[in-house]
Structure 1
Amino acid sequence: MAKDTEKLIRQLSLISYLMAERRPVTAPEIRRDVEGYSAMNEDAFARRFYADRSELEALGIQLSVDKPVEGLAEQENYSLPPENFHLPAIRFTDEEHAGLQTALSLLDGEFAYAEPLRLALQQISWGRPSPLGAPEQRSIALGITASAGGHDLSQRLAKIETAIFRRKTIVFDYYTMQRDELGTRKVDPYQLLFQGGQFYLVGRSHERDAIRVFRLSRIRGKVAYASKAEHDFQRPAEFDPRSYANRIQWQFGEPVGTAEVWIAGRIAWQIERHFGRHGEFRAAEPGEGDGDDRVFVTEYADARQLVAWVLGLGEHARLLGPRELVEELDVRLALLIERHADGPELAPAVAPAERVPESNGNGNGRREAAAIRPERFARLVTLASILITAGRAGQRIPAAEVCERLQISEQELNEDIGVLNVVNFGAGSYVLYAEVLEDGTIESDPEAYGDSFARPARLLPVEAKALVAAIDLIGEHIPEGSLASVREKVVAALGEDPIREGLQVASVGGDDSGIARSVSTAIRDNNLLTIEYYKENEDVFSQRTVEPYALINGREGWYVAAYDPARAGVRHFRLDRVKQATVEQGTFEPRAEVDPSRDVEGWPRTGEVEASRRARVWISPERARWAREERSVVEELADGAVVVELSFAGVDWLVREVLKEAGDAAVLEPQDARDAVRAAASRLARV
């Protein structure tokens, strides 16, 4: 029998024994009665028992230890209070349960943590119809699903997840985009972060002796443990993962200064709603602007990124200080004008270097490439609960149904049943006996004292983080039922927020939760929805009354897919551009021809919409590396610059995208787009 299997039998039998005894027991009693310990000598038992206790504690299962005589380990008494193993009852409303059903149906097979999510939902939905049989949902679709995105990235993610849990230092080769170099990194992994369709690792870099952020898609080759030790480090108590999830591009790194940015009153509501957490706002003083204008005060670590953001806001934003930042903006504007007048001067084209394609993490993850496999311990506990419940009801369960619910193969099911059949309370009293019959069903005969596994067990760390990460990914965008209240109940039952240990999902865009709730209500009740919408590229506000059908997320944020009667077609409105949303009393009859999620495999994932025109855009050598990672490169140049191709429906959008590159991009063609960029930059330079 494999050592891992022996360990699982031993640990499950220890739990069963302690909970069946319902009294403190001594170490000699445990050695005598618990499956797997009796054949060991005293030293081997002491080592194994200590290791098993440590592993169970890491899984959130804490044994109670009573020390009557100080310093004498053999006099210690051990017990397992039921509350240390069982999950407190969580009472969900029908709406909350519907929200959980929707979350699973959306993410199953599309989420790097899909398998532990299934186990978590099995546990927290105890006593209710399984959320695994949810009907197809049509009112929400996901373009960004936190899938691992390919085999290599899946392997890295799984290894890092385990390293975080086990406190293991890891070693890997990493491509540093800023310096254009590949080097080896030794890192204490603290946290995984999912943001903007990408997974990131936050940890202490041994080379820098400081916390750094690493994008998983830039890791090359395999991730390895740095040592064979059981644990290599302890995460600092003061580490707060939320501070990394809440950073904006210009705040990546150590702060170098504080900027003041004038924001026109026309868009102040939008900037304050979506960027307020990255700084502070104050009213514009005389000479800085008019009555509704605001000044945004924000720390920055990367001057170029902040300048690029300000330029992307066009005439509605202006840098007030510090002086060196204003000077950099002026230089970059001059560069933009020059490169759209006479330049840029193009180096000769060269044959593109062969590149190993790296997944960007936005792909459609499938079950066969699932990144995170839950601990087998968690699977066995869940399987035991399923079999005991069915056995007590005198029911047989189809083996295929259990395999589907737990996402395991028939062979794995047989192996798991074999393990559970030898888990016992001691003295030859087993938890259950189960077998797969010839007709493909499972017959189970549970022991009368099998109460230990007849109630839901505590969520293990990977299950808890999977559940909360799934809730955070979807947020307040489910018409079937709010997940915010579900999250509160789950965190209360767990006693802590799992995002502090493992995976945190950072919000895309700004705080649009209030708008999302109004939109969700209108979708659920088939109410007409009136929105005040800011069309950024044209700098116009419009009022639309639409028929809302679904919420869809994408690389840039959340959208409502709606039928617009005034334009006789489906339109997608970004929630962060909706200034106000009003649910009308009037209702609409859903149109059979409208399929709001039809485009979810397209632009929400890729960021590119269908367009009638394409532009050729030069990217400077300094920014070419980023372009290769994010854009469609059509030409490599001898000096390291590249030419990319961008599809666009309107020149205004293209102008804004080029301004955001802060002088490191220039439209080559079409000519009208070149002229429009030069004109826009000239207007900004005169401000």
Structure 2
Amino acid sequence: MAKDTEKLIRQLSLISYLMAERRPVTALEIRRDVEGYSGMNEDAFARRFYADRAELESLGIQLTVEKPADGVAEQENYSLRPENFHLPAIAFTDEELAGLQFALTLLDGEFAYAEPLRLALQQISWGRPSPLNAPDQGSVALGVTASAGGHELSQRLAKIETAIFRNKTITFDYYTMERDTVGARKVDPYHLLFQGGQFYLLGRAHERDAIRVFRLSRIRGKVAYATKAEHDFKRPTDFDPRSYATRADWQFGTTQGEAEIWVSDRIAWQVERHFGRFGSVRPADDGTGDIVFATEYASVRQLAAWVLRLGEHARVLGPDELVRDVAERVELLHDRHTGELDLAAAVPPSADDEAPDAPGPPRRETAIRPERFARLVTLASILIEAGRADRRLELTEVMDALQISDAELREDVAVLNVVNFGGGSYVLYAEVHDDGTIEVDPEPYSDNFARPARLLPVEAKALVAAIDLIGDHLPEGALNSARDKIVAALGADPMEQGLQVASGAGDDSAIARVVSRAIAGSQLLRLEYYKANEDEFSERVVEPYALINGREGWYVASYDPAREAVRHFRLDRVKTAEATGETFTPRPEVDPAADVEGWPRTGEVEASRVARVWISPDRARWSREQRRVSHELADGSIVVELPYKGTDWLVREVLAEAGDAAVISPPEAREAVRTAVDRLRLAVR
């Protein structure tokens, strides 16, 4: 029998024994009566029992230890309180359970934590019709999900998740984008962050003796444990992962200063709503409705890029060095769009070069498999429930519920058949028949697994991460209320224990709630919408069908009767939204989420035009991660292809490169950038 299987039998039998005894027991009694310990000598038992206790504690299952007055360790008494193993009852509404099921439906197959999420849903829906069988709501579609992004990256994520869980120091090679170098890293992993479609590791880098952020896609090769010890470090009690999830792009790193940025009244509402939390906002002194946005910054370039993207509607007021930097970047943009752009010679492609992948992570299998302990506990509850109902289970039914193979299920059943609580009293007996069914003894001896076990750390993280990923975008806020109940039952927010899903750049939660309610009630929706391409506002009355997320944020997919076509409106550009109260009959021919596999995931819209854009050597390596490269040039610069519909969109993309990009063709797009830069030159003088 494998060591892992022996350990699981010991741990499950220990739980059964302690809960069945309902009294404190000694180490001697445990060694004598609990399956797996009896054949050990005293030293081996002491080591195994200590290790099992520590692992159960890391799973959130805390044994109570009563020390004798004289301090003799051999006479310590051990017990397990029911509340330390069983999940507190959570009074979910039908809408909340349906919302949780829908979260799994959306995320299944491309959420890195889909499998522990499935087990968590089995546990929290105990005694209710399974939410896994609830009908599809269809009001949300996801273009960007917390996928691990490929087989190799999935393996890294799984290893790092386990290292965080077990407090294990890890080593890996890392590509540092700023220095364009690969170097060895030794890190105490504290936390995972999912932001902007990417996973990041937060941890103490031994080389710097400081907290650093590592993007998982830039890790090279395998992630390994630094030692063979059971634990290597303790996470500092003052480490707060929330501070990393609430930073703007320009705030990652060591703070350089505080910038003041003038923003015109045209987009003041947008900046205040979506970026105000990254600093402070005050009215400008001229009484025009303009604002001044003050924000700390660590990266001059990132802040300059954000300001330049806003065009003539934003201007840096200070400090002086930042004002000069932005002005220099504007002049660089001007120079690179004046006359003919001088390009280095193209580098012939190597025969070994692979065709570049399209931007955006592909759909992949889930990365995180839950601890087998969690799977066995869940399976025990399923089997006991079937036994008490005197109902045979279909093998395929259980395999589907737990997402395991036939061989894994048969092995798990065999393990559970051995688990006992002493004196020949077994928790259950199940037999797998040749006809593909599982028959369970209708009289299991133990009630210990007849109630749902508390959520293990990875299950709790998966459950709350799924809720946070979808956020306020289900009707009636069903997921928000479910999240509050889950956190209350657990006694802590799982997102503080190893994984956090950061909200998108656009704080659109209030708008999303209005839109969600209109979708649920099939009510016409009136939008005041800012068309950034034309720099103008328009009012639309539309039939809302679904909320869709993409690489640039959340959209409401709708049918516009005035234009007789499906339209998608970005929520961060909706100034106001109001359900009119007038209902509409959904059009069966409209499939607003049909595009979810396209532009929401890739960021590229169907277009009749493609711009060729030069990227400087200093920024080429960043663009390779995001863009389709058509040519490598001898000086290290590259040429990328950008499909586009609106020239104004293309202009903003080039401005946001802060002088490190220039349009090569078509000529009218190059001229449009030059015109926009001329306006900026007037603004910064």
Normalising by the smaller structure, the TM-score range is over 0.9
Deviations 1:220-275 (A, max 9, x none): 11111111111111111111111111111111100011100011112111111111
TM-aligned CA deviation for residue 352 of structure 1: 3.8
Say whether residues 1:344 and 2:344 are aligned partners. no
1:537 is paired with a residue whose SS is: coil
Structure 2 CA distance, aligned partners of 1:678 and 1:361?
27
1:221 is paired with a residue whose SS is: strand
Deviations 1:439-479 (A, max 9, x none): 21111115554211000000000000000100000011112
TM-aligned CA deviation for residue 343 of structure 1: 4.4
TM-aligned CA deviation for residue 364 of structure 1: 4.5
Letter aligned with residue 652 of structure 2: R
What does residue 53 of structure 1 align with? 53
In structure 2, relative to structure 1, the CA distance for the partners of 1:566 and 1:361 (3 Å cut) is closer
What does residue 310 of structure 1 align with? 307
Structure 1 CA distance, aligned partners of 2:570 and 2:372?
42
Map 1:68-83 onto structure 2 (within 5 A): 68-83=68-83
Structure 2 CA distance, aligned partners of 1:418 and 1:568?
61
Structure 1 CA distance, aligned partners of 2:192 and 2:358?
16
Say whether residues 1:24 and 2:20 are aligned partners. no
Say whether residues 1:619 and 2:631 are aligned partners. no
TM-aligned CA deviation for residue 285 of structure 1: 2.1
Letter aligned with residue 361 of structure 2: G
Query: Is the CA contact (8 Å cut-off) linking 1:461 and 1:498 kept in structure 2?
Result: yes
1:622 is paired with a residue whose SS is: helix
Query: Is the CA contact (8 Å cut-off) linking 2:264 and 2:313 kept in structure 1?
Result: yes
Query: Is the CA contact (8 Å cut-off) linking 1:110 and 1:145 kept in structure 2?
Result: yes
In structure 2, relative to structure 1, the CA distance for the partners of 1:361 and 1:204 (3 Å cut) is farther
TM-aligned CA deviation for residue 681 of structure 1: 0.7
Q: Give the alignment's Cα RMSD to 1 decimal.
A: 1.4
Say whether residues 1:646 and 2:642 are aligned partners. yes
In structure 2, relative to structure 1, the CA distance for the partners of 1:312 and 1:153 (3 Å cut) is same
Structure 1 CA distance, aligned partners of 2:358 and 2:241?
23
Q: In structure 1, which of residues 423, 426, 430 is the aligned counterpart of residue 426 of structure 2?
A: 430
Structure 2 CA distance, aligned partners of 1:491 and 1:96?
14
Structure 1 CA distance, aligned partners of 2:282 and 2:250?
20
Letter aligned with residue 146 of structure 1: A
Q: In structure 2, which of residues 301, 310, 325 is the aligned counterpart of residue 328 of structure 1?
A: 325
Query: Is the CA contact (8 Å cut-off) linking 1:311 and 1:660 kept in structure 2?
Result: yes
Gaps (5+ residues) in structure 2? none
In structure 2, relative to structure 1, the CA distance for the partners of 1:586 and 1:620 (3 Å cut) is same
Q: In structure 1, which of residues 661, 665, 684 is the aligned counterpart of residue 680 of structure 2?
A: 684
Gaps (5+ residues) in structure 1? none
Say whether residues 1:572 and 2:568 are aligned partners. yes
Map 1:350-365 onto structure 2 (within 5 A): 350-352=347-349, 362-365=360-363
TM-aligned CA deviation for residue 556 of structure 1: 1.1
Structure 2 CA distance, aligned partners of 1:606 and 1:467?
27
Deviations 1:561-590 (A, max 9, x none): 000011110000111111111011111111
Say whether residues 1:531 and 2:513 are aligned partners. no
What does residue 217 of structure 1 align with? 217
In structure 2, relative to structure 1, the CA distance for the partners of 1:200 and 1:109 (3 Å cut) is same
Map 1:75-474 onto structure 2 (within 5 A): 75-286=75-286, 290-352=287-349, 362-366=360-364, 369-445=365-441, 447-474=443-470
Q: Which moved more, 1:349-358 or 1:433-442?
A: 349-358
What does residue 602 of structure 1 align with? 598
Structure 2 CA distance, aligned partners of 1:379 and 1:4?
14
TM-aligned CA deviation for residue 208 of structure 1: 1.5
Q: In structure 2, which of residues 585, 590, 595 is the aligned counterpart of residue 589 of structure 1?
A: 585
Deviations 1:484-511 (A, max 9, x none): 1111100111111111111111111222
Structure 2 CA distance, aligned partners of 1:397 and 1:602?
40
What does residue 471 of structure 2 align with? 475
TM-aligned CA deviation for residue 137 of structure 1: 3.5
In structure 2, relative to structure 1, the CA distance for the partners of 1:359 and 1:111 (3 Å cut) is farther
2:46 is paired with a residue whose SS is: helix
Q: Which moved more, 1:354-363 or 1:229-238?
A: 354-363
Query: Is the CA contact (8 Å cut-off) linking 1:335 and 1:663 kept in structure 2?
Result: yes
Letter aligned with residue 485 of structure 2: K
Aligned pair count reads 682
Q: In structure 2, which of residues 475, 494, 497 is the aligned counterpart of residue 501 of structure 1?
A: 497
TM-aligned CA deviation for residue 342 of structure 1: 2.2
TM-aligned CA deviation for residue 130 of structure 1: 1.1
Structure 1 CA distance, aligned partners of 2:479 and 2:196?
21
Q: Identity of paired residues, percent?
A: 74
Structure 1 CA distance, aligned partners of 2:39 and 2:363?
46
Query: Is the CA contact (8 Å cut-off) linking 2:98 and 2:135 kept in structure 1?
Result: no
Query: Is the CA contact (8 Å cut-off) linking 1:146 and 1:361 kept in structure 2?
Result: no
In structure 2, relative to structure 1, the CA distance for the partners of 1:30 and 1:7 (3 Å cut) is same
2:281 is paired with a residue whose SS is: strand
2:65 is paired with a residue whose SS is: strand
2:475 is paired with a residue whose SS is: coil
In structure 2, relative to structure 1, the CA distance for the partners of 1:147 and 1:576 (3 Å cut) is same
TM-aligned CA deviation for residue 360 of structure 1: 9.3
TM-aligned CA deviation for residue 131 of structure 1: 1.7
Structure 2 CA distance, aligned partners of 1:127 and 1:54?
31
Query: Is the CA contact (8 Å cut-off) linking 1:98 and 1:481 kept in structure 2?
Result: no
Say whether residues 1:657 and 2:680 are aligned partners. no
1:662 is paired with a residue whose SS is: coil
In structure 2, relative to structure 1, the CA distance for the partners of 1:357 and 1:429 (3 Å cut) is farther
Letter aligned with residue 173 of structure 1: D
Query: Is the CA contact (8 Å cut-off) linking 1:537 and 1:656 kept in structure 2?
Result: no
What does residue 511 of structure 1 align with? 507
TM-aligned CA deviation for residue 593 of structure 1: 1.1
In structure 2, relative to structure 1, the CA distance for the partners of 1:601 and 1:263 (3 Å cut) is same
Query: Is the CA contact (8 Å cut-off) linking 1:258 and 1:298 kept in structure 2?
Result: yes
Deviations 1:154-190 (A, max 9, x none): 1000000001111111111111111111111111111
Query: Is the CA contact (8 Å cut-off) linking 2:548 and 2:596 kept in structure 1?
Result: yes
Structure 1 CA distance, aligned partners of 2:148 and 2:250?
26
Q: In structure 2, which of residues 551, 556, 559 is the aligned counterpart of residue 563 of structure 1?
A: 559
